[in-house]
Structure 1
Amino acid sequence: MSLVELIGFLALTGIAAYIQTLTGFAFGLITMGGVGLTGLLSLPDAAMLVSVLTFVNAVQMLHKGWRDVAWREFRVVMLTSIPMLFVGYWLLEWLAGTRADVLRLILGFVIIVSSLQLARKPDPLPTRSGDVSFMAFGSIAGLMGGMFSTAGPPLVYHFYRQPMPQVTIRETLVTIFALNAVFRNGLVFFSGNLPSASTLTGLFAVPVVMAATHAARRWPPPLSPAAMRWIVLGLLFLSGVSLGMPAVLHLLTTR
Structure 2
Amino acid sequence: MSVAELIGFLLLAGAAAYAQTLTGFAFGLITMGGVGLTGLLSLPDAAMIVSVLTLVNATQMLLKGWRDVAWREFGFVMAASIPMLFGGYWLLEWLAGTRADILRLILGIVIIISSVQLARKPEPLAKQSGEGSFLFFGSIAGLMGGMFSTAGPPLVYHFYRQPMPLVKIRETLVTVFALNAVFRIGLVVLSGDLPSSSNLTGLLAIPAVMGATYTARRWPPPVPAAAMRRIVFILLFLSGVSLSAPAVVHLLRTLP
User: Do the structures match in fold with TM over 0.5?
Assistant: yes
Mapping for residues 31-110 of structure 1, pairs under 5 Å? 31-110=31-110
Task: Tell me, in whole angstroms, the C-alpha distance in 1 between the residues paired with 2:227 and 2:77.
Answer: 31
Q: Secondary structure at the match of 1:210?
A: helix
Aligned to 2:164: 164
Match status 1:118 vs 2:118: yes
For residue 181 of structure 1, what is the aligned residue in structure 2?
Answer: 181
Counterpart of 1:206 in structure 2 is: 206
2:143 alignment counterpart: 143
Q: What is the DSSP-based 3-state SS (H/G/I as helix, E as strand, rest coil) of the residue aligned with 2:124?
A: coil
Aligned length: 255
Amino acid at match of 1:182: V
User: SS in structure 2 opposite 1:40?
Assistant: coil
SS in 2 for 1:125: coil
Which segments of structure 1 move beyond 6 Å, counting only runs of 4 or more? none
> C-alpha separation between the residues in 1 aligned to 2:220 and 2:133?
35
What's the CA shift for 1:126? 1.0
Structure 2: which amino acid aligns with 1:154? P
Give the superposition deviation at 1:120: 1.2
Percent of pairs with identical residues:
79
1:253 maps to which residue?
A: 253
| Whole-angstrom distance in 1 between the partners of 2:173 and 2:20 | 12
The one-letter amino acid of 2:92's match is L
Over residues 29-72 of structure 1, what are the superposed CA-to-partner deviations in whole Å (9 max), with x where a residue is unaligned?
A: 00000000000000000000000000000000000110111111
**Alpha-carbon distance in 2 for matches of 1:251, 1:44:** 21
Provide structure 1 residue ranges, at least 5 long, that are not aligned to the other structure: none
> How many angstroms does 1:119 deviate by?
1.1
Match of 1:217 in 2: 217
1:55 aligns to what SS in structure 2?
A: helix
Q: Deviations over 1:90-136 (max 9, x none)?
A: 00000000200000000000000000110111111111111111000
Report the TM-score, using the length of structure 1 for normalisation: 0.99
How much has 1:220 moved relative to structure 2?
2.1
Residue identity matched to 1:206? I
Is the Cα–Cα contact under 8 Å of residues 24 and 173 in structure 2 kept in the other structure?
Answer: no
